[in-house]
Each structure stands twice: as structure tokens, then as C-alpha cells.
Amino acid sequence: MLKPLRQAGDTMLQWSFLLGLTASRPGVRDRPLEERIDALLPQTQCGQCDYPGCLPYARAIASGEAEINQCPPGGERTIRRIARLLGRKPVPLNPAHDDGKASTTVVRIDEEQCIGCALCLKACPVDAIVGAPRLMHTVIRDECTGCDLCIEPCPVDCIHVETTGEPAAPVSPLAAPIREVLAEAERLRRADRARLRFRRRNERITRREQEREQRRREKKAARTVLRKEALPEPGSDHASKQAVIQAAVARVRARRARRDGTVYDGSGRSDPRNGT
């Protein structure tokens, strides 16, 4: 009799802590729905939900385009939380999105084998890889979300998955809720960092694209100006100069024709009747 009561008490205590951790975060309740959903997602940015990151998936849920059960890293826990936020019943994880990956992982680069091609660096959604072209690359372990997106592009298969490994040792029933609260706090900390890095990376990519587009437009405009200068319109400065030059040439030729006794017809050719 006492045991079930104690377990129920533990669970309530645990949930009040967990809900408090999420709900009391600064300004969460005042944010748009998509951001409140995003705040519940794990921020692995792996794309397994069929969207290019957690925020795009949150937007799709908020607009009713996507179901709430497409995030394997979030699992049942995240489904329950989103269902509660939306006032809906939880549903099981969609098996079409389930990769069967049970544990949290990070990756490690075998630096001896790395050829510095930088393909992994471009693939990482949270900038957790550092390196420069033709130089060794390495993973910032604390920033890696375990999305595995860098593995497939590596041409020499030198990126390896490692389990982060939460402590497997059994803990007392009283300590379990505390451990869960601490683990949740750590998950939130990592998720916040991953969200920030993902957002900054996307802003950087967008800014570079805009700069590239701006340079392309400026080059095009410069080419158009050059073409216009090469083909002057009637009445333009360039056309007037050409007309002045042609008139001067005509005067010289006419003078020369008078001097030589030939007839200048204004065409730039001398009169063939004079054999010139």
C-alpha cells in the first residue's frame, strides 16, 4: 500500500519539477505557438521528422501540416508534452520516422584519417565541427547533437559514432526523480545551445546568400552600363564626338581633293575619273 503511494508522490514531484523547468523559462508562455512547440523539441536538428530542423517542424505542427509524432529523438516524452500544450491526446511515435536509435550519441573524427575536405563542416547544422580546407577537422563534443548528418558526406569514413552514456548504475527510488530532474536540466541546456547555434548558422547562410545576390546584381548593372557606353544613343556625348571627328576627316579629305584637282564626293573616296 505504502509503496504505490510513494511512487505516485515521486512521479508528481518529478513532473512538477520538469513542468516548472520548461514552463517557467523566460517568456515561453508569451511566445507564438511555433516557438512554444520548438521549446519542447530536442534541437537535435537531424531532419528525421522530414523537416530541415526543429523550428521548421514546429511551424508545420503549429499550422496543422504535420502530426506531433514525427520526432524520434524527442520520443514519447516530447509527444506527451506537445499534446499537453495543444490540448490533444498523445499518439505513438510514427514508425516511419523511428530510426531505432535508443541512446544519445555524439561523433568523433579520426584525425589521422581526415583529409580536410570540409564536407562534414558544411553538413553540420549546429557548427559543431571546426577545421579549415585541407587541414584536419575535429568535433566540439559538447556542441554535437548526435544528428549524424556529417557521417554520410565523409569520403573516407573517418567519423565515428560514440554513445554519450547516461549512468547505467541503478539508483534508489528516492534518488531517481532527482536524477531525472538533473538530466532534464542538462537536456534543456544543450537544447538551448543547439537552437542558438542552428539559428546563427542559418542567419549566416542567409546573409551570405544575400551578399552573393547583391554582388551578382551589381555586376549585372555594371555590365549593362558598359554595354550602353559601347553603343551610344543618338544625341549622346559619344555620338556628338564621333560626328565632330567625321566632319573633321571630311574637311581634310575635301581639302586634299581640291589640292590634287580631284573631286571629293563626301564618301571618303576620291573620284575615279581622276585616276586617284
Query: Which of 36, 59, 81, 137 forms a contact with ligand SF4 (CB under 6 A)?
Result: 137
Query: Which of 39, 40, 44, 61 forms a contact with ligand SF4 (CB under 6 A)?
Result: 44
- Distances in Å between the Cα of 9 and the Cα atoms of 12, 16, 76, 124 are 5, 11, 22, 42
Chain residues 103-122 in contact with ligand SF4, contact rule CB under 6 A: 107, 109, 114-120
Asked if 179 contacts 13 with a C-beta cutoff of 8 angstroms, the reply is no
Q: Tell me how far the alpha carbon of residue 126 is from its chain's centroid.
A: 9
Nearest residue (CB) to ligand SF4, 81 versus 148: 148
Q: What's the CA gap between 80 and 220, in Å, rounded?
A: 54
Select the span of 5-13, 46-54, 180-188, 224-232 touching ligand SF4 (CB under 6 A): 46-54
Note whether 150 binds ligand SF4 by CB under 6 A: yes
Residues facing 161 on adjacent strands? 107
Least distance CB 105 / ligand SF4 (angstroms): 8
φ, ψ for residue 108 (rounded to 5)?
A: -135, 140
* Residue 159, H or E segment: strand 159-163
| String of DSSP letters for 66-95 | S-S---TTTHHHHHHHHHHHHT----PPPG
Query: Which of 37, 66, 79, 154 forms a contact with ligand SF4 (CB under 6 A)?
Result: 154
Chain residues 74-103 in contact with ligand SF4, contact rule CB under 6 A: 74
Note whether 148 binds ligand SF4 by CB under 6 A: yes
Least distance CB 124 / ligand SF4 (angstroms): 3
Select the span of 126-134, 170-178, 199-207, 230-238 touching ligand SF4 (CB under 6 A): 126-134
Nearest residue (CB) to ligand SF4, 153 versus 232: 153
C-alpha cell at 141: 563534443
Least distance CB 38 / ligand SF4 (angstroms): 8
Note whether 61 binds ligand SF4 by CB under 6 A: no
| String of DSSP letters for 220-233 | HHHHHHHHHHHSPP
CB-CB neighbours of 198 under 10 Å: 22
CB-CB neighbours of 70 under 10 Å: 20
Note whether 123 binds ligand SF4 by CB under 6 A: yes
Nearest residue (CB) to ligand SF4, 42 versus 177: 42
Burial of 73 by CB count in 10 Å (0-12 exposed, 13-18 middle, 19+ buried)?
buried
Q: What's the CA gap between 213 and 40, in Å, rounded?
A: 35
Note whether 62 binds ligand SF4 by CB under 6 A: no
SS3 for 139-191, per residue?
ECHHHCCCCCCCCCCCCCCCEEEEECCCCCCCCCCCHHHHHHHHHHHHHHHHH
Q: Tell me how far the alpha carbon of residue 18 is from its chain's centroid.
A: 31
Note whether 257 binds ligand SF4 by CB under 6 A: no
Nearest residue (CB) to ligand SF4, 148 versus 264: 148
Query: Which of 18, 37, 39, 46 forms a contact with ligand SF4 (CB under 6 A)?
Result: 46
Select the span of 6-14, 82-90, 124-132, 212-220 touching ligand SF4 (CB under 6 A): 124-132
Point out which residues bind ligand SF4 (CB under 6 A). 41-42, 44-49, 51, 53-54, 57, 71-74, 107, 109, 114-120, 123-124, 126, 128-129, 131, 137, 139, 144-150, 153-154, 156, 158-159
